[in-house]
């Protein structure tokens, strides 16, 4: 555990002996467009432990994607600190797929590569394809992609593309999975399928931070963080479920 002060976001705490994988304190990010300032992330502190599923909920435009981008190092925070497994993030570019994997809201598949090649990509970049081949096949199967494996992203549905991005994120068994609305394009059955895969990932010790508008995912979460106008607060999952479609 670090000496960072406990924030409101940590109010619903996980067991103290848990291994803290990701910790962020006092993060802020403002987008500037000419005279207009949008404070997308405002003084956010949070942590995610190994094996934990943390749901990040909040209205459209509340800052979920921006927060994930800042945590991933894709956007620079104006203020605040991020540390991964106790090491301050000096250079986000040094994080590999084995440290942190993300399912972006925009998916980010490589259009020229087949479904299988997209899923294999983190292994090929790390030169660990031999080691991971069985895992590729397992994820393709669990996410209903085996018969589509040789197609290009443009030749499969958006839901199937989203599941491909999830398989790619998990193929390297990262320390942290960050997924931005991973059930956003799924039907009821595949929402369950995606949740099963995320639950298995957490059971394997992966720390999961999942932005979502889906109550089904909130029910699976160990903790729920709600963001509104860039500000974060911990809420009880029952509270969010009771609020129903206000996600
Ligand atoms: N590149 C950008 N430049 C300026 N403003 C931006 C930029 N990206 C996001 N914003 C603004 O920052 C705020 C937070 O956006 P963000 O995409 O993080 O919301 P979100 O919670 O992910 O929404 P959704 O649920 O619709 O995905 C919004 O007001 C948005 O318009
Ligand atoms: Mg978003």
* Least confident range of 68-77, 141-150, 204-213, 231-240: 231-240
Specify whether the backbone of 55 is left (phi greater than 0), alpha (psi in -120 to 50) or beta.
beta
Q: Comparing C-alpha atoms, which of 31, 2, 56 is closest to residue 232?
A: 56
69 lines ligand 1 (CB under 6 A): no
Specify the fold of 8-246. Rossmann fold (3.40.50)
What residue's CA is closest to ligand 1, atom 4? 31
**Which pLDDT band, with edges at 50, 70 and 90, does 93 fall under?**
low
What pTM was estimated for this model as a whole? Answer: 0.89
Q: Does residue 62 line the site of ligand 1, with CB under 6 A?
A: yes
- Pairwise CA distance, residues 199 & 127, whole Å: 27
Domain ranges of the chain: 8-246
C-beta 32 within 6 A of ligand 1? no
The bound ligand whose nearest atom lies closest to the alpha carbon of 37 is 1
Nearest CA to ligand 1 atom 25: 60
Ligand 2 ion: residues within 5 Å (CB): 64-65, 105
Cα 178 to ligand 2 centre (Å): 12
What is residue 10's predicted lDDT score, i.e. its pLDDT? 46
- Return phi, psi of residue 39, to 5°: -85, 90
Question: Edge-to-edge strand order for the sheet containing 79-84?
Answer: 36-49, 20-33, 79-84, 87-88
Sheet with 231-235: list strands edge to edge.
100-103, 176-180, 207-211, 53-57, 223-228, 231-235
As a whole number of angstroms, the distance between CA 2 and CA 51 comes to 18
Higher pLDDT, 18 or 71: 71
Within the chain, how many helices (H) and strands (E) appear? 7, 10
Measured at the CA of 48, the angle between CA 45 and CA 49, to 5 degrees, comes to 145
């Amino acid at each position: 555990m670090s000496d960072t002060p406990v924030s409101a976001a940590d109010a619903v705490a996980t067991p103290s002996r848990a291994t803290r994988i990701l910790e962020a304190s006092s993060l802020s990010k403002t987008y500037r467009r000419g005279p207009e300032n949008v404070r997308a992330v405002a003084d956010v502190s949070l942590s995610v432990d190994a094996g934990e599923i943390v749901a990040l909920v909040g209205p459209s435009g509340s800052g979920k994607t921006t927060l994930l981008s800042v945590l991933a190092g894709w956007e620079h925070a104006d203020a605040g600190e991020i540390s991964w497994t106790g090491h301050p993030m000096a250079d986000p570019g040094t994080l590999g797929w084995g440290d942190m994997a993300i399912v972006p809201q925009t998916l980010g598949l490589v259009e020229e590569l087949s479904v299988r090649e997209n899923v294999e990509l983190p292994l090929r970049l790390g030169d660990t394809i031999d080691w991971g081949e069985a895992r590729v096949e397992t994820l393709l199967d669990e996410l209903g992609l085996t018969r589509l494996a040789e197609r290009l992203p443009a030749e499969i549905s958006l839901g199937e593309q989203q599941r491909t991005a999830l398989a790619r994120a998990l193929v390297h068994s990262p320390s942290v999975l960050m997924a931005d609305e991973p059930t956003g394009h799924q039907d009821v059955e595949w929402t369950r399928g995606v949740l099963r895969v995320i639950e298995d990932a957490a059971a394997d010790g992966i720390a999961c931070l999942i932005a979502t508008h889906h109550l089904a995912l909130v029910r699976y979460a160990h903790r729920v963080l709600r963001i509104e106008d860039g500000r974060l607060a911990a809420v009880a999952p029952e509270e969010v479920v009771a609020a129903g479609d206000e996600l």
